[in-house]
Structure 1
Amino acid sequence: MNPLCDRCGKVVYPTEKVNCLDKYWHKGCFSCEVCKMTLNMKNYKGKDKKPYCNAHYPKTSFTSVADTPENLRLKQQSANQSQVVYKEKFEKSKGKGFSVVADTPEMQRIKKTQEQISNVKYHEEYDKKMSGGSVPCNSSQVSRAASQPSAASQHTNYDPAPVPVQAAAAITPAAAIASVPPPSAGKRYRAVYDYAAADEDEVSFVDGDVIIDVQQIDEGWMYGRVERTGLQGMLPSNYVESI
């Protein structure tokens, strides 16, 4: 006995029968419940044993939970537990040190510049020793330390402006002929860059000059005499190299 079509209720013969969703349909009756578009076994979507096209397939919606007293109590309990976890993690991490900054070439350059600026303190102490009193640090010393090139930048893009020999010889600061510390025995240095004195207690020189009677003041500065001109004073250590 032939079954009946679920859509039209008429007999479905084997040549036009579609067996789907536990029901029987005529091929023309197997259509979307909303738009009535004819479907087949490849493009239909079934829900509650009813066929739908892709556009009209019922979308699944979330169920909203009512704010009942019990649900509100559970929500507050969850919030309290999360606060406990947060405080526990905070107590464990409290007191630990800061993260270590990577020792990159840029950080080394910044560190070197800060050290050079701090050398102003040494110049102040040296001036006190030379004058026997208290000499305040002036702004020219700060600008001199800040403008001094670092060791990393000297070998990369440093292009010092040339200083004429006559101009270097003409610079005769009054403080250059003052009493000097005892020289280091046997040490001689050669200038690798031109340097123009930025203060009265410094000495100018050009690339290739030999520096004698050298005494190291600190890591960034030394005291010496230029063999070519006979002038003596303070000079930056990273502008010369040991012979």
Structure 2
Amino acid sequence: MNPNCARCGKIVYPTEKVNCLDKYWHKACFHCETCKMTLNMKNYKGYEKKPYCNAHYPKQSFTMVADTPENLRLKQQSELQSQIKYHEEFEKSRMGPSGGEGMEPERRDSQDSTSYRRPQEQQPHHIPTGTPVYQQPQQQQVAPSYGGYKEPAAPVSTQRSAPSGGGKRYRAVYDYSAADEDEVSFQDGDTIVNVQQIDDGWMYGTVERTGDTGMLPANYVEAI
């Protein structure tokens, strides 16, 4: 049995039937509700089970929810929970992380004093740390005066007496620069011959490379 058209109410035969929006239409009756433009299955838009063209398709508007007693109760409950949560967050921020009221978090300086380390003073590689440097202080003698005439003071000699006799051979293990006129300078690896022990800290010998003879520190050389 053939159905009736949703618009004109007449029988719709299979050759002219349009099945859309849960209804049956004649092809000529399937048109826009507003402008009466004939539509098809590709360009129609349905609203409340009625066909519309793209230009006259009704714009949906938001409907207001009625203020029923149940909706009012839910609204008040939601506002109350929001106020409680806000109050708790405000109290936490006011108390601070340490729990004391009115206390501000400690400010850390951009440069922590405990993290700063004073750089160690670098010493020359050829002078080991802790090596004593022996220098004799020069003492100035005051010449006696006789009736206004002052006798010139004799210069104080700091020349160390060189021991006599043969000695051993030593090799320099550090560079050394002479600090006094009776000392000799040498470099790491130089050979010192005719070395004689003067005391626990000093020796006397000749640098084989330069031929200079004089005093040298004992802890800068080693026996060959």
The answer to whether the superposition gives a TM-score over 0.5 is no
**In proportion to residue count, which structure has more helix?**
1
The structure that is strand-richer by fraction is 2
Task: Tell me which of the two structures has the higher relative contact order, counting C-alpha pairs closer than 8 angstroms and 6 or more residues apart.
Answer: 1
Calculate the TM-score normalised by the size of structure 2: 0.37
